[in-house]
């Protein structure tokens, strides 16, 4: 495997955790999963975004810092493959759309101080799905507090990711169209994704279509 540290990304309901587990198993890689299920602010946030956005984003920032501290200093990170279901900059992507400008400015300062020395991924793989597909997946997995997520919010999250990726430098970002993919029901979809991740890419954004591959 060319890349030693692969970060999976995508909108809410894109299947990041499922695919990360599959890739980690295939590559016998260190698996790093975001821990958010017990976040006490999430249900309140989806009921009143303006009131709960700042405590929610600060709690995520603290949790991701703790995870990074626990996982990334490991000396074997760069000799073995590591797969994560999020990138460290995810905090900034969501904070930009959820926080007021004055709150976001403060948030960025905390982020820079906390994450300055942690390693960056060698590649980001963004699982791109339509809003309809995301809403379908969110409904299927049945988290009660997520059922209030609107199509408009999902679209704003996607646009925030795109804007952020355009300013990243130093490594490739693979925007992979997975709209017709089902990694659980169709093993070929995973093989196609592995084929894409195994290629060599220049730095910058690459738009790829998983549906057009056949391996």
Is 211 a catalytic site residue?
Answer: no
Which three-class secondary structure state does DSSP give residue 130? coil
Query: 206 - beta bridge partners?
Result: 174
| Tokens found for residue 9 | 């990304």
Q: Residue 183 belongs to what H/E stretch?
A: none
Cα Rg of the chain (Å, integer): 17
User: Which residue in this structure is represented by tokens 């942690």?
Assistant: 118
Identify the active-site residue in 70, 85, 182, 202.
85
Helix, strand and coil percent figures for the chain, each rounded to 5 = 55, 15, 30
The number of C-alpha atoms within 13 Å of 32 and in the hemisphere containing its C-beta is 26
- Beta carbons within 10 angstroms of residue 188's beta carbon: 14
49: left (phi over 0), alpha (psi -120 to 50) or beta: alpha
Residues with catalytic roles: 85
């Amino acid at each position: 495997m060319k890349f030693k540290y692969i970060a999976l990304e995508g909108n809410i309901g894109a299947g990041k955790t499922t695919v990360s587990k599959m890739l980690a198993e295939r590559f016998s890689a260190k698996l790093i999963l975001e821990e958010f299920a017990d976040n006490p602010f999430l249900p309140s946030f989806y009921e009143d975004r303006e009131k709960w956005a700042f405590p929610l984003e600060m709690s995520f920032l603290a949790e991701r810092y703790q995870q990074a501290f626990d996982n990334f200093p490991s000396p074997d990170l760069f000799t073995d493959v590591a797969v994560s279901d999020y990138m460290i900059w995810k905090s900034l992507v969501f904070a930009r759309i959820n926080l007021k400008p004055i709150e976001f400015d403060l948030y960025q300062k905390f982020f820079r101080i906390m994450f300055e020395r942690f390693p960056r991924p060698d590649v980001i793989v963004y699982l791109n799905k339509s809003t309809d597909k995301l809403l379908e997946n969110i409904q299927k997995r049945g988290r009660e507090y997520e059922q209030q997520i609107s199509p408009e919010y999902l679209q704003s999250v996607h646009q925030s990711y795109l804007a952020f990726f355009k300013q990243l430098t130093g490594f490739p970002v693979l925007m992979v169209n997975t709209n017709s993919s089902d990694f659980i029901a169709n093993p070929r979809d995973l093989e196609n994704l592995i084929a894409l991740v195994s290629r060599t890419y220049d730095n910058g954004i690459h738009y790829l279509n998983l549906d057009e591959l056949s391996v």
